[in-house]
Amino acid sequence: MTISDTIHRRLVEALSPIHLEVIDESHLHAGHSGARPEGETHFRVVAVSSVFDGQSRIGRQRQVYALLNDLLEGPVHALSLALSSPEDS
Q: So where are the chain's domains?
A: 3-88
The class level of CATH for 3-88 reads alpha beta
pLDDT in tens, 36-74: 556 688 899 999 999 999 999 999 999 999 999 999 998
Q: Residue 20 — very low, low, confident or very high, per pLDDT cuts 50/70/90? A: very high
Residue length of the chain: 89
Residue 30, pLDDT > 70, answer no
**CA distance from start to end of the chain:** 33
Q: Residue 82 — very low, low, confident or very high, per pLDDT cuts 50/70/90? A: very high
d(CA 38, CA 69): 21
